[in-house]
Amino acid sequence: MNPSVINIITAEPAGDCRIRLTFDDGKVQLVDFKPFLQRSQHPEIRAYLDEARFAAFRIEYGELVWGDYELCFPLIDLYRNQLDKGVALEAA
């Protein structure tokens, strides 16, 4: 394993747009996505405030994604639990 590469190995819904993430180095973060989603001006991002839509995430290649990469976050921001530092990416 390359120590400079970090991957998410488990992601568990924790309610109210929060997810408990476990990384391959053993670190665990409870990430609250709700403030980020509420501040977004983009309607397609705000749509993830719907719990059912938000809960449809998956881990792909060690990253947390929704849909066809419709919503994803820089892994380092999730690892540090600092969504305000990053920008959500939206697929075309």
On the question of pLDDT at 1 being above 50, the answer is: no
Q: Which token pair is 66?
A: 């929704």
- What confidence tier does 85 reach under pLDDT thresholds 50, 70, 90? low
pLDDT digits (tens, 9 = 90+) for 12-66: 999 999 999 999 999 999 999 999 999 999 999 999 999 999 999 999 999 999 9
59-76-39 Cα angle (round to 5): 85
CATH number for the region 8-85 comes to 3.30.2020.10
11-14-16 Cα angle (round to 5): 125
Domain boundaries, the chain: 8-85
On the question of pLDDT at 78 being above 50, the answer is: yes
